[in-house]
Amino acid sequence: MDYAQFLSEVQRDGSFASREEAEALVVGVLMAMAEVLPRPQLEALASQLPPETMVYLRRTGSQPDPLFDSHLFLGWVVSTLDATGSRDKTVGGLDLTAAYSGEEAIRRMRCVFSALKRRLGPDQQRELVALLPEEVDTWFLNA
């Protein structure tokens, strides 16, 4: 499968303005997955994706990070969002920029998960769900 085609699917699914925006999202999601999946599952995932994505499925440590939770996973995606805004001026109020960023990050992540799921069989999808952090597994299932 072609890398440009993969990015186009993500861009179309998310209605992103540019290929660069879709690519930044794909990079963030794959790098987060590299932190939580064991090596055999990373290799199986890489075999279903364009070769250009392999570099993002490498991690620095030898084992998955057991402390990598849904918040850290989302952090890889939120870091690609333009979430500038002014400080929250209410005492103890909701930071609307942060709330929006989280919801938008989940929506964006689901676009990548959807493109991934189209390339994976049901058994491989179930295997990934069992290894993803709590909450991320649900986002993957609902993509």
pLDDT band for position 92 (50/70/90)? low
Region of residue 92 (phi > 0: left; psi between -120 and 50: alpha; otherwise: beta):
left
What's the chain's average pLDDT? 85
pLDDT surpasses 80 at 85: no
- pTM, 2 dp: 0.83
What mean pLDDT is predicted for residues 14-22? 92
Band the pLDDT of 77: cuts 50, 70, 90: confident
Query: What is the C-alpha separation between 29 and 87, in angstroms, rounded?
Result: 28
Q: Which residue has the higher pLDDT, 103 or 52?
A: 52
**pLDDT for the residue 105:** 85
Mean pLDDT for 108-131 is 95
- pLDDT at residue 118 above 90? yes
